[in-house]
Amino acid sequence: MIVDDRIVAYIHSLASDDSEVLMQIEKDAREHYVPIVRKETKELLKILVLMNQPRHILEVGTAVGYSALYMNQYQPEDGKITTIERNEKRIQKAKENFAACKKEDRITLLEGDAMDILRKLDGSYDMIFVDASKGQYIHFLDELLRLIPVGGVLISDNVLQEGDVVKSRYAIERRNRTIHKRMREYLYQITHMEEFETVVLPIGDGVTISVRVC
């Protein structure tokens, strides 16, 4: 937790309720330890979607479809989401959840590894939400840049890694050092590349919001 527990609990207490079906999907996911977006992060997503009115969102990391369903509620009426997942069990569950919410025509699930799929995509996405394996963000970056137009928004979740990212690599468990190094590289890159203006926010597990400026 990178923000004081009591502050987070208080912010949660102010959040508005979702629809019954979405609340059930969220509850099931949390009970089964599916790593879905944190409550305070999803509130941020809601505001970003409402502010930017993206017609087409690309999500990397569907899990069981919770964040895709959540964001889709706030898109323009004809808004669509393309979302990528490689875990077979989660793919099945996401399909069930999209069907339960009657969103199969609005949300397209691409099955497989994001790196392979991103290379093959040639669309243009007004908003991209990256919420997959943290060690891979840096590898996704060139493809994401290709898919996002000037004015588009790139949101990356879990960038502060429970605060580990600010620690020296020697304070990090050996098995987590590669992810630590790659996330630092990602944060440096995304805050220094001329194509993006980026803010790093200590919300949830850390979020970057980048706007493509050139």
Judged by the rule CB under 6 A, the positions of this chain that interact with ligand SAM are 35-37, 61, 63, 66-67, 84-87, 90, 113-115, 131-133, 136
Tokens of residue 47, six digits: 């505001």
Given the structure tokens 């808004």, which residue do they identify?
79
**Least Å from the CB of residue 214 to ligand SAM:** 28
- Backbone angles phi and psi of 64, in degrees to 5: -100, 15
Given the structure tokens 């590898």, which residue do they identify?
139
Residue with smaller CB distance to ligand SAM, 80 or 86: 86
Residue with smaller CB distance to ligand SAM, 137 or 196: 137
**Least Å from the CB of residue 142 to ligand SAM:** 15
Residue with smaller CB distance to ligand SAM, 61 or 79: 61
Residue with smaller CB distance to ligand SAM, 113 or 195: 113
- Measured in residues, the chain has a length of 214
Question: Measured between alpha carbons, how far is 72 from 107 in angstroms, rounded to an integer?
Answer: 8
**Least Å from the CB of residue 179 to ligand SAM:** 12
What is the distance in angstroms between the CA of the first residue and the CA of the last residue of the chain?
35
Q: Which residue is nearest to ligand SAM (CB)?
A: 61
Beta strands 196-201 and 207-212, pairing class = antiparallel
